[in-house]
Structure 1
């Protein structure tokens, strides 16, 4: 099963990414205001976005779902990216695979409920494709806005631990999920 190339919500137009989306997606993702919780992850070169879009497209091709490019329905303006992507060292291993809910929206559009609207559409799409696969959202503990979105869409906090790979060893990773996770799934979430 595959999700349509375009999904509409009340205020958003969610589209499968295309290489032509790179400049708009880069402009949003390169904004330092979006990376206060993990500055070293901020992309600084457009080629980094090319790599992201290629990864998203592989997800669409292999799983029928991946990150969307997010536009406002009213204007068509690109305001970010997000959705559910399949993660796991072996995505065909049901003991370790997960849908990862993620998004990055323009700082100019924060606080309007758009991330929640996007997240609800992503959860519905993931359930249509593979409802047997848990959905997670992982984030750093000081990113309260993202935690709030996870909670609004029904995900529960299931794990907290030091954030692997974070240059600041004091940072804690939170894992939210739509159901209890196995040890293998939790290991996937903590990579």
Structure 2
């Protein structure tokens, strides 16, 4: 087990997963608005398996897709963090930054705020030289977050884990080299 990294931002706490996170995570994973740019909403078993995997990877590495909650109230709002993609991508091997928040928490700058904290951990404590992000080309909201993080678009690719012929298969890749990040 690696040393566990957890951190807070102005409005959020990013931490290891707890059993109580499973139910609200299942709700957001079943929301068609949240899952618009994924192949399909997740059933409870698949959502729980994803939470288990996130928890296990943080236990292994000390970092990952952290459970994210509002400071003060402790309300679970989703995940934000760093991950090593299992798929063979044009940027592999790589570390990606990603997020998935419940719909009521969109449009408040929370994904950007949490991602900025995750970038500080990635480039600071963990010493990564580059962090990438990617999403379906049509996902304007996530692309806007990537741009707010000072990530630069670096072309498109067909995501190997998305079915051929799917409108979601074409992804855009964003990159942020360490030297372009302000810690």
- Normalising by structure 1, report the TM-score: 0.79
Q: 1:132 to 1:35 in 2, by over 3 A?
A: closer
Q: 1:2 to 1:167 in 2, by over 3 A?
A: same
Counterpart of 1:13?
13
Q: Residues 120-159 of structure 1: CA distance to partner in whole angstroms, max 9, x if unpaired?
A: 1111122234323421111011101100101111211112
Counterpart of 1:123?
119
Q: Residues 48-89 of structure 1: CA distance to partner in whole angstroms, max 9, x if unpaired?
A: 122112211232133220111111113211111121112357
Q: Distance in 2 between matches of 1:161 and 1:76?
A: 38
Any conservation in 1 of the 2:4–2:59 contact (CA below 8 Å)? no
Q: Distance in 2 between matches of 1:87 and 1:169?
A: 20
Shift of 1:104: 0.7
1:11-90 pair list within 5 angstroms: 11-38=11-38, 40-44=39-43, 46-88=44-86
Q: Which runs of 5+ in 1 are unaligned?
A: 181-191
Counterpart of 1:184?
none
More helix by share: 1
Counterpart of 2:134?
138
Q: 1:2 to 1:129 in 2, by over 3 A?
A: farther
1:83-98 pair list within 5 angstroms: 83-88=81-86, 96-98=92-94
Q: Residues 81-118 of structure 1: CA distance to partner in whole angstroms, max 9, x if unpaired?
A: 1211123579xxxx943211111111111111001001
Task: Indicate the RMSD between aligned Cα atoms, in angstroms.
Answer: 2.4
Counterpart of 2:146?
150
Of 106, 112, 116, the match for 1:110: 106
Q: Which runs of 5+ in 2 are unaligned?
A: 179-183
Three-state SS of the structure 2 residue aligned to 1:126 is: helix
How many residues are paired up?
A: 173
